[in-house]
Structures are given as C-alpha cells and as structure tokens.
Amino acid sequence: MHLKRLELSGFKSFAKKSVLDFNSRITSIVGPNGSGKSNIAEAFRFVLGEQSLKSMRGKKGEDMIFNGSSSMGRLNRASVKVVFDNIGKMLNVDFDEVALERVVHRDGINEYFVNGTQVRLKDIVELLAGAHIGATGHHIISQGEADKILNSNIRERREMLEDALGLKIYEYKKKESEAKLEKTEENVKSVESLRRELSPRLKFLEKQVEKVEKARQMKIELGQLYREYFYDEDLYIADQKKLLADAKKPPAEELKMLEKKLREQKKILEESGKGGSRGNSLMHLEERIKKARDERESLNRNLGRIEGEIDAIKRNMERSARMAGANGVSTVPLTDLEGIYERMRELFDEGEGSENPSVTKSVLRRVREIIVGFITAAKNKKDIPIEQSADISRLGDEKKKAEERILVLKAEEGSAEEEYLKIKDDIDKEKAGSVEAEKNMLRIMARQREIVSDLSAIRANEDRLAVEEEDFKRELYEAGMLAGRAALDYKNSGGDTSQDQCPSSKEQRQKQHDRMKQIERIKIRLEESGTGGEDIIKEFTEAKERDVFLAKELQDLAASAETLGGLIADLETKLDVEFKEGVAKINEKFQEFFSIMFGGGEASLMVVKEQRRKKKGLLEELENDELGGENFEEESAEGIEINVSLPRKKIKGLVMLSGGERALASIALLFAMSQVNPPPFIILDETDAALDEANSKKYGDMIESLAKVSQLILITHNRETMSRAGMLYGVTMGAEGVSKLLSVSFDEAVEVAK
C-alpha cells in the first residue's frame, strides 16, 4: 500500500481545492514561512482522525475552516481526502483504492467517509490501526516535535514505541476489553441488586404458593369426600324412595278396594230402605269422621314437613356456629343496630342545633360511650342466628298448633265414632235385616282408619325425605362452587357402601354424619385460606422465571468477565513480549543510525520500572480525611529509558546533549523506529531544521535508506533534503491569503533528460 493523493478543500489556508499527487518514494514540500506548507501535515492528522485541535493549532472545529480574506469570503465547511493504493490489502476493506475523507462544518459537526460511504470515527481508527497508521503516530513528525521523544517521560516513550511497533491495535483491544469488563462488572452488580430486591418478594410468594397448594390439596380431599358423600347419599335417597313407594302401594290399593266395598254396602242399605232417619244420621256421622280423618292426615303430613324443616335449620345453625367459632365472627341483631342509630341520631340533632363547643364535646363523649357500650355488650352476648331462630320459633308454633289441632280432630273423630256406634246399636236392634251390611261397613271403615294412619306415616316420611333431598341438592351446588365440577362426578367414583350393606342402615347413616362433619371442617379451613390462588401462582411463576433468568444472566456475565479477564491477560502478555522483542530490534537500528550521525558512540533503549504516587479517588480521599490516612497510593509504571554515549566526549545521558546533538539523537531514534516496523508513509515537518551542512548530508543518506521501506513526505527548507526528493511541491501565498501549489517532478525530468 502507498499514498496516492491528498485533496484539500477549504482546509485552513487552502480555500480552493488543491490536490497533491504522491508518485515518488520521496516528496518534498517547500515554501516560505507562513505560506501554509505545515497545514499539509496537519491535514494528514485531520483526515486520519486527530481529535486534539491543539495539535493542529486550533481551539475549535471551525478553526479548521478557511476564515476568509480581503478578497474571499469565509467558507462553511472544510474537507480533506486521502487516497491509498490498497492492492496489497493492507487496509482491511475489499477495494483496490481506498479514499478516506473527513468533513467539518461551522457548527463543529464532523463527518467521516470511506469511499463515499459515511462511517463512524471508530471505524476509521480501527481500519487504520490494522495498517499501523494513526493521527498522532510516529509517522507524522511535525515541526518542533522531533525532540519530543527525548523530552517525554518513560511512559510516553513506551506509548510512542508501541505505536511504532504496531502494537496500538493490541492496546486498543485491551482498553476496549477493559471497558467491556468494567461494564460487565457493573452489570453483575446491577443483576445482583435486582436479585436482592426480588428475593424477599419471591420468598413471600413462595409461602403464599405453599398455602395455595395446601388449599388445592384440601380441595382435592374435599372433592373426594364430597363424591363419597354424594354417592352414598344418592343411594340412600333412592333407597328411601323405593322403600316408601313399595310401602305405600299395597295400602293405597287396599284403600281403593275398601272404598269400593264400602260403596257396595251403602248401596245395599239404601236399597233395603230400612235405614230411615237414623241411616241418614249414620251417613252424616260417616261424613264427619271422613272429614276429620282427612284433615288429620293433612295435618300429619304438614307436621312431618315442619319437623324436617326444623331439622334442616338446626343443621345449618350447627354449621354456622362451627364457622363462626373458626372465624371469630359475631352476629348483631338488626333491631339493636336500629336502636343504637336512633340514640345517636338524637345526639347528633342536639349537637347540630348548638354552637356551644362544650355541648359538641359532650355529644361526642356520649356517642363514644354508646359505641363502646354496644361493642362490649355484643362481645359478651352469645351469638344466635336471629333469622334462623325466628324460623325455628315460627315452625315450632306451627307444629304446636298442628299437634293441638290433631288432638282436637282425634277427639271429634272419637266422638263421632261413639255416636256412630250408638246409632248403629240402635239400628241393629231395630233393623236386624241390615245388620250384616252395617257390620261390613263398620269393619271396612275400621280397616280404612288403620290404612289411612299407615299412609299418613308414610307421607310424613316422604315429606321428611323431600327436605333431605333439598339439602342434598343445596350441598351439590355448594360443592361445585368450592371443589369444582370434579366433586359432582360422584356417580362414577363410588362410595364405601357395599352391596351387602343397606344405605339406610344406622351404621351407614352414622358414617354419612361423620363424613359431613369432616367436610364442614375442610370448608372452614378453605374459607380461612382465602382466594386469589391463581393470581398468586401466576405472580410466583413470573417472579421465579425472572429470578432464574437473572441467575442465568449472572452466570453468563461471570463467564463473560472471566473470558474478558483471560483476553486482557493474553493481550498484556502478547503486548509485553512483542514490545520487548521490538525494543531489541529498535536498539539494533538505533545504534546503527546513531553511529552514522555521530561517527560512533553508543545508544540504546532500556525497559525500566519506576514507582510513582497516584492520587486516590474522591470517595477514597473523603474516607482517608476522616481516618487521617494518605490521599496517594504507590503504583508501578513501566517505560523506556534512553541511554547515549557520544564518541570522543565524556557525555552520557540526554541532559548533557546540546540542541544539535539532541536533534541528531532524536532523528536517529525516529528513523530506527520506522525501520523496525515500517509504516506505509512518513511525514517529516522540518525535522532537519537544526542540522548543519555535514549532518544534513548524513540525514539525506538516512532518508534515502528509509525511503526503501516507507513513502516519505518531507516539509523542509534544507537544500540537501530537497535534492533527495523525486517530487517537489512549492507552497505560495498571495495577497488574498490563499495557499497555492506548484509542482516539479524530478523523476519525470530525469526521464526526459535521458
């Protein structure tokens, strides 16, 4: 790769577009002082990404733009483009010719381009670092900087040598890795902080999930108990219905048959005509007996219903009492609350009608006393479900009335039967012919009474069974709400009633009773556990997943930090090894060039370490101020020390050298650095200004030697240096204050001369 062309437009004194072609291995740029020739060296720094405006003799970005003259107005932008021949692919892009351009605007905005495509400064730096080119590297030595390497401290010299040896790319990668490592460590702290913040919530949710899981297990257990209970209860109800139906059918059929026979006997009596008025009385009494019997039967059924409802209400009261005992709930009668309200309303009316503060305070004190007294009374009062107690009381009254009415009806029925028997005896005495029919009627009616009594008992059991069936259906609904639909699938689950056991047996009913108690206990525990289980599990799952993600992220960050640490260690090792090898090579060339310049003597570079004090950070300073400690810490710095010994003089060390000797020593070192790892081009801005004629010739010889490995651009006033150039550019500046270029190609002149 070699430098082909430099284009300047609006950069400093080059107001108009100016092009410098570098077709020779050595190009000299000459001109009077103030003509703008050093602006060419600064243009190279500018286009290669230099960010220090001070090194380009400016304070801000617009100082790089032509600021106008008496004949030309100022420009709004400046651009510098450098073109490289990249056939050898030293620059890592797939182009045979690479053009780098930088544009600066009046507002300070900079733009960078590679072959016309806008890129970042970072991309420019990385691209050039691969070819050992930089904005402030050893290959651009401006006026007055030749002596810089001698005046620098050991650390700065090391950085210059690293740049010359092409180790900047390792240093850049090391700094980049250190920045990534620092960022990774910050991320680790951030992730650890997030996990610490998440941990208490996760533990809380974990406990809540345990409760939810216990509630789920209780629901599963409840569902199983419900299925067993419903299965056996369903068998019991079905068995009872069948038993009652079977028990009811024969007496009902017999009763129909007896009614038919009774009608036949009545017909016989009517046809015989012997009944008379007493027969009519007998018929009337029969109607009375039947009416009393029917009413008593209806009352018996109602009595059975009432007893069933009372039993159901008592069961509900027992269940509510168990739940109230578990939850600590106390019921207060509505009438008590209404009384409290009336008393406090009167006090409020009294307080609102008075503007006296003492009256208001008195009202508030009495209100407080009423509320405290009410709460104390409510705590000491035994909790009784008022509505259910009222229902029991009402049903008890109905039962009592029904029982009293049954007794009255029994008495009426007995009185009618006695009167009936008396009339019958009279009829028997008077009408012997109808005796048999009357006997049959009496026998039929007696049997009817027995059957009706049996049917009444059966109907009472039916009513009681109906109440139990309603309880069964209500429990089914509650089971569906508490344990889900699975609890209702009892027909396929089976209970513990075997084929040899009767569902209505005392043993089975006791099992059902115990099972219901167990169900009630689980229902109370479920109500205590509360709801919202799905939301808690969802939140716990999300929190757990986030914690796992953060743990994985922490693991990845730790692995990344370990990898970066290893990379940094490898880069440091490689940098150290290659640096020391490069120093050895530079020493060889340094000694060679030093001997040429001084006609002998010794010169070498030596890697040294020095201890220096480093100021601590602000937080550490504050801590040390409190504890009375030091605000500095010792650190070890590795760098380069230069040792020289002139021939024929007892001079050792840089301090004792004269200005000319220092210039020769620095030139020898710079050329030695360039020979070890030759850059594609070197720009020397009046580095030969301090040389006399004899040393200028030596300088020219070294330039020709150096031109064999690197392309040289020399900004000079020295005729000897000019004579070694194949291309000469002259920079002039007219009255308008604009730099212009003139060129002479000695290589072409030689060819023409031949």
Neighbour-count burial of 283, counting CB atoms closer than 10 A to its CB (0-12 exposed, 13-18 middle, 19+ buried): middle
pLDDT band, very low/low/confident/very high, at 608 (cuts 50, 70, 90): confident
Question: Angle, nearest 10°, between helix axes 533-598 and 154-164?
Answer: 90
pLDDT (mean) for 334-356: 75
- Rounded distance, CA 598 to CA 664, Å? 8
Q: What is the pLDDT of residue 331?
A: 59
Find the length of the chain: 754
3-state secondary structure of 611: strand
pLDDT at 383 > cutoff 60: no
Specify the higher pLDDT residue, 10 or 2. 10
pLDDT at 499 > cutoff 60: no
Question: Which domains does the chain show, CATH number per domain?
Answer: 2-139+679-753 (3.40.50.300), 205-529 (no CATH)
Q: How many CB atoms lie within 10 A of CB 88?
A: 12
pLDDT at 344 > cutoff 70: yes
- The pLDDT tens digits of the residues spanning 175-232 come to 888 888 899 889 889 888 988 888 888 888 888 888 878 878 888 888 888 888 888 8
Q: What is the pLDDT of residue 64?
A: 92
- The pLDDT tens digits of the residues spanning 618-641 come to 555 555 555 555 556 666 677 888
Query: Which DSSP symbol is given to 86?
Result: -
Assigned token pair, 169: 């790319």
Q: What is the pLDDT of residue 78?
A: 95
Q: For 245, how many CA atoms within 13 A lie in the half-sphere containing its CB? A: 6
- Rounded distance, CA 11 to CA 741, Å? 14
Q: For 84, how many CA atoms within 13 A lie in the half-sphere containing its CB? A: 28
Q: What is the pLDDT of residue 247?
A: 87
DSSP assignment of 353-418 equals: T---HHHHHHHHHHHHHHHHHHHHHHHHSPP--HHHHHHHHHHHHHHHHHHHHHHHHHHHHHHHHH
- The pLDDT tens digits of the residues spanning 70-93 come to 788 899 999 999 999 999 888 888
pLDDT band, very low/low/confident/very high, at 104 (cuts 50, 70, 90): very high
- Rounded distance, CA 718 to CA 714, Å? 10
Say which residues have a Cβ less than 8 Å from residue 663's Cβ, sequence separation at least 6. 146, 147, 687, 690, 691
Specify the higher pLDDT residue, 130 or 126. 126
CA distances from 33 to 36, 69, 147, 725, 733 (A): 8, 18, 21, 20, 10
What mean pLDDT, rounded, does the chain reach?
81
Assigned token pair, 387: 């509505």
Specify the higher pLDDT residue, 191 or 383. 191
pLDDT at 316 > cutoff 60: yes
**pTM to 2 decimals?**
0.51
Percentage of residues of the chain with pLDDT beyond 70? 85
- The pLDDT tens digits of the residues spanning 137-147 come to 567 877 566 67
- Rounded distance, CA 539 to CA 33, Å? 78
pLDDT at 579 > cutoff 80: yes
Q: What is the pLDDT of residue 381?
A: 56
379, 330 Cβ separation under 8 angstroms: yes
CA distances from 142 to 665, 688, 713, 716, 727 (A): 16, 11, 11, 11, 20
Name the most confidently modeled range: 336-345, 580-589, 624-633. Answer: 580-589
Least confident stretch, 78-92, 300-314, 689-703? 300-314
Residue 468's φ and ψ, nearest 5 degrees, are -65, -35
pLDDT at 328 > cutoff 60: no
- Rounded distance, CA 361 to CA 357, Å? 6
DSSP assignment of 722-753 equals: HHT-SEEEEEEE-TT--EEEEEEEHHHHHHHH
Assigned token pair, 715: 């900004």
- The pLDDT tens digits of the residues spanning 235-275 come to 888 888 888 888 888 888 888 898 888 888 777 777 665 54
- Rounded distance, CA 1 to CA 676, Å? 17
Specify the higher pLDDT residue, 433 or 175. 175
Residue 291's φ and ψ, nearest 5 degrees, are -65, -45
140, 45 Cβ separation under 8 angstroms: yes
632, 615 Cβ separation under 8 angstroms: yes
Of the candidates 383, 233, 382, 389, the residue with the CA atom closest to the CA atom of residue 310:
389
Residue 140: what residue type? I
Least confident stretch, 241-255, 417-431, 669-683? 417-431
192, 554 Cβ separation under 8 angstroms: yes
Determine the Cα angle at 597 with ends 595 and 603, to 5°: 45
Of the candidates 522, 528, 527, 517, the residue with the CA atom closest to the CA atom of residue 319:
517
pLDDT at 711 > cutoff 80: yes
Write down the number of H helices and E strands in the chain: 17, 14
Least confident stretch, 151-155, 183-187, 553-557? 151-155
Assigned token pair, 670: 């710079």
Q: What is the pLDDT of residue 9?
A: 95
pLDDT at 410 > cutoff 60: yes
211, 529 Cβ separation under 8 angstroms: yes
DSSP alpha helix (H) spans, 487-532: 506-529
Q: What is the pLDDT of residue 277?
A: 62
pLDDT band, very low/low/confident/very high, at 325 (cuts 50, 70, 90): low
Q: What is the pLDDT of residue 8?
A: 95
pLDDT (mean) for 284-305: 80
Least confident stretch, 132-141, 161-170, 610-619, 692-701? 610-619
Strand partners, 615: 632
CA distances from 24 to 393, 396, 710, 722 (A): 125, 128, 11, 13
Q: How far apart are the first and last CA of the chain?
A: 29
Q: What is the pLDDT of residue 85?
A: 92
- The pLDDT tens digits of the residues spanning 528-544 come to 776 556 788 888 888 88
